[in-house]
Amino acid sequence: MRRQVGIIGAGELGQAMAVILKADKPALWDIDAKKVPGQGALSEIAAISDVLCLCIPSWAVRQAAGDIEPFIKKGAIVVTLSKGLEERTRLTMPAVLQEVLGEKAACVLLSGPMLAEELADGLRGAAVAASRIVETGEALVDLFAQTNLHVECSRDVDGVAMAGVLKNIYAIGLGMVEGLSLGTNVCGWYVQMAVTEMADVLERMGGERQTAYGPAGLADFVATGLSAGSRNQQVGMEIATRGELCLTSEGCASLPSVRILLADYWDEFTVLRAVSESVERPGAARAEFMRLFA
């Protein structure tokens, strides 16, 4: 059955989703109307869409959800592709959607290695659709079945959401390993350490360890950490090569909240600590990472 799709956010990821779902003729909308000439009203798009994809930064999710809430079509699915924590509440994006939308829509998180420029160029990607309702996840699998995005289901919403947060932070560290010229061996070592630690963190946060080794964890972390176009990777490189931090990224924005959420266990997570200390004191990055690999 063909579904009417609405895409909120016409940045690189939103445009990539529009390319992938072109057979469904998605309606695209952006707060900057210049990005989508002739776009319809947000209320109209929300009212007709069976699936609404929020391709926007994490800090904008609550506002966007509130804007569409009065108009959502009965039985609609709202998909967030944002990976982060809300600064004020430290809630994950699925939790923010649930708080704002309640029972008005089925909410799902789509997370995995989905570099927008590659998807837009027709290359393949992978994702996991995380929802506590099996039918909701399966609906996303069906939606993308004939596209270049391979989607699988998970009911581990908390684990998938936190993996998306953590992979951005660990990707900063991978940029540091490269920028410090520690070598390919250490790069591989770092990936192993980071993913094992991610599994430990997810377990502490009520998620499933296995999620760390799937599309939302290992796969997305490696894709982000090795992509020259990744802001998180660029932040790590900048810290390592220049000893200063001028850029910002989702990983940087999430670090303070992650430290608070894991305060009781912070000393257990040596990779997160090394990245955090290096972000706070860029000049100490080499010493922190040499200690990590001692």
- Amino acid making up residue 115: L
Q: DSSP code of 217?
A: I
Catalytic residue, from 22, 73, 74, 167: name it.
167
Burial class (CB in 10 A: 0-12, 13-18, 19+), 19: middle
Is the Cβ–Cβ distance between 18 and 43 less than 8 Å?
no
167 annotated active-site: yes
d(CA 272, CA 257): 12
Buried b (16+ CB within 10 A) or exposed e, 108-137: bbbbbbbbbebbbeeeebbbbbbbbeeebb
Measured CA to CA in angstroms, residue 84 lies from 15, 168, 172 at distances of 20, 9, 14
> HEC profile for 112-133?
CCCCHHHHHCCCCEEEEEECCC
Which residue's structure tokens are 């090394």?
Answer: 274
Question: What residues are annotated to the active site?
Answer: 167
